[in-house]
Amino acid sequence: MAVFYYTPDKNLITVDPLEVLRYMGVCGSSDENTFAMAQNAVSVVSNHADPRACYGVCDITVHDDVTDFGFTAMQSQNLARILGGCKKAVIFGATLGSDIDRIITFLGKTSPAKALGADAAASAFIESFCDKLSSHIAACDFAEGKGLSPRFSPGYGGLSLEHQKEIFAFLDLPRRIGLTLTDSCMMTPSKSVTAIVGIGGKCKPAKCELCDKKDCDYRKV
């Protein structure tokens, strides 16, 4: 299987400070100082980020709540629903690099508020990076102009976090982009994402429909 690399110009990855505030837990409007802190956090993260990703394409079959990717089968009703009608899927790993973890740790020792802002900005930045990666994948010849399903990650919507191990082996993420996995299936660097997207398909649920956290304020909104 061919594995493709994607390394964008980080200056083209945009992050809305309002999204940073959302990750900080700010609901509704914020004061000028908090908004300025979010803007500064975006600048700090952009300076230290080293976004890189790799992805592979595989044929899939979906039967009931099991999706067979060839190298593994994953059981999740939500994943099967999203990938229903898809014949191919893209599996990717993406990271902002280890400098982000270091700057957040440093700020945590000097300014907890700035550390909170940087952590939130990094979360928003990796999501924006994944959006750009998805757009890149959708434009590739193998996508055939069919569009992509929503992203779906292990540990989300009933898909076991243990599947991280199979994805890491499938893409050889430690060697290719320096992304490693702990014994508890957490990723290092921490601001990293693995995800599955189907090519085509008809189910386009909103993210909140798939999330198990029923008491989230943003779900209520």
- Based on C-alpha coordinates, what's the Rg of the chain? 18
pLDDT tens track for 140-186: 999 998 999 999 999 998 999 999 999 999 999 999 999 999 999 99
Indicate the length of the chain as a whole number.
221
Q: What is the pLDDT of residues 35-50, one digit of tens each?
A: 999 999 999 999 999 9
CATH code matching the domain that covers 3-220, chosen among 3.40.50.920, 3.40.50.620, 3.40.109.40, 3.40.50.720: 3.40.109.40
**Whole-number pLDDT of residue 201:** 72
Find the mean pLDDT for residues 123-138. Answer: 97
pLDDT of res. 214: 59
Asked whether the CA dihedral 203, 205, 210, 214 is positive or negative, the reply is negative
Selection from 122, 95, 124, 97 nearest residue 108 by Cα: 122
Residue 186 CB contacts under 8 Å (≥ 6 apart), including other chains: none
